[in-house]
Amino acid sequence: MGQLLSNLLGNAFLYGSRSGTVTLRMWASPDDVSFSVHNDGTTIAPHDLARIFEPLARGSQTNTAGERREPSGLGLGLYICKEIVRSHGGTLTVESAAGSGTTFTVTIPRFPAA
């Protein structure tokens, strides 16, 4: 779980707006626990949304201010996140839209499957 949160927060700081905010929210229901990581700034292009969870895949590297950000990783961070969540029987989703930023949401069952 630490690796999952670290990867999502790291990406939010790396790819989000340098002057924007990064927000972590947590909540629970009787059956699930969830958290989301949100950042302001450049959205993820629709064609990238379909592939960012694949190994060695990266999204576009230029933000709305025209700043090019050089990733330091191998393009495995979101793939690892997806696999951690999957191994716990959960879901990992992403929403990204102009004007509202990007939000990754993790939902994991509170109890293991029987």
- pLDDT value at position 63? 47
| Sheet containing 22-28, strands listed edge to edge, beginning at the edge strand earlier in sequence | 22-28, 32-39, 101-109, 91-97
Domain assignments of the chain as residue spans, ordered by start: 2-109
Rounded to 5 degrees, what are φ and ψ at 78? Answer: -70, -30
Q: How far, in Å, CA of 78 to CA of 67, rounded? A: 22
Spell out the CATH class of 2-109.
alpha beta
Is the C-alpha dihedral spanning 79, 85, 89, 92 positive or negative?
A: negative
Q: Walk along the chain (114 residues) and give the pLDDT tens digit of each residue.
A: 999 999 999 999 988 888 889 999 999 999 999 999 999 988 898 888 878 998 876 655 544 455 545 555 667 889 999 999 999 999 999 999 998 999 999 999 999 877
The pLDDT score that the predictor gives to residue 39 is 96
